[in-house]
Amino acid sequence: MERRRGERLKRRVTCEIESDGSRHTGIVLDVSPRGLFVQTDATPPLDGTVRLRLRLDGEALDLEARVARKRVVPRQLASVTAGGLGFRIDSAPEEYFRLFSGLMSTPGESGRPPSPAAPSVGPPPADDEPVFRVRVKQMHGPRSRSLLVAAATEVEARGRATADLGEGWSVLEVAPA
């Protein structure tokens, strides 16, 4: 199975999926120049060809793609995690790649803000201070998030994240960023 290549950007965009004459709606959750993941109840076969119509910044973009993977989620977990389809793009208009390039660039280059990164916790890191990605989950709810924490050790990063978020959140994982 082909693995993801390149950076993916989290971006919520509505789309339509056309496969074998039927149409379905979906929400794009992340994009890259080579693929995207769509939360949908559409069920085209693996490696099946589909036409995707994305609505990005007021523009409709038509893509041809193949189903690279399926994420099936039991109905009782649908409010906690997204099921859907991972697509590998076979063909896309030049506007798609220009838009993606604009999302990746800095504000001065494209006029658009950069894609949102994980929020940082604590003071800006010193040149020699490591940065950790801390994944946290809401204790009495379905929400989770990742934070970037500058700290000397993983234990210190865990403590800073917990202190900044307050009660109601638990740390799932701490890893170097």
> What is residue 101's predicted lDDT score, i.e. its pLDDT?
66
Mean pLDDT to the nearest integer, 31-41:
87
Is the per-residue pLDDT at 111 higher than 50? no
Is the per-residue pLDDT at 14 higher than 70? yes
User: What's the CATH architecture for 120-176?
Assistant: Roll (3.10)
| pLDDT tens-digit map of 37-94 | 999 888 899 989 999 998 876 778 899 999 999 888 777 776 777 688 999 999 988 8
Round to whole Å and give the CA distance between 134 and 173. Answer: 6
> What is residue 137's predicted lDDT score, i.e. its pLDDT?
87
Confidence of residue 128 (pLDDT cuts 50, 70, 90): low
C-beta of residue 160 within 8 angstroms of C-beta of residue 151: yes
Domain coordinates in residue numbering, the chain: 9-110, 120-176
| Domain over 9-110 is classified CATH 3.40.30.10 | no
Mean pLDDT to the nearest integer, 154-172:
83
Mean pLDDT to the nearest integer, 16-36:
89
> What is residue 100's predicted lDDT score, i.e. its pLDDT?
65
Confidence of residue 2 (pLDDT cuts 50, 70, 90): very low
Taking CA atoms, 18 is separated from 2, 15, 76, in Å, by 23, 10, 27
131-138, strands of its sheet edge to edge = 120-121, 144-150, 131-138, 169-176
Is the per-residue pLDDT at 13 higher than 70? yes
Phi, psi of 21 (to 5 degrees): 80, -5
> What is residue 170's predicted lDDT score, i.e. its pLDDT?
87
> What is residue 103's predicted lDDT score, i.e. its pLDDT?
59
pTM of the model: 0.54
The residue that leads in pLDDT, 79 or 163, is 163
Is the per-residue pLDDT at 135 higher than 50? yes
Is the per-residue pLDDT at 122 higher than 60? no
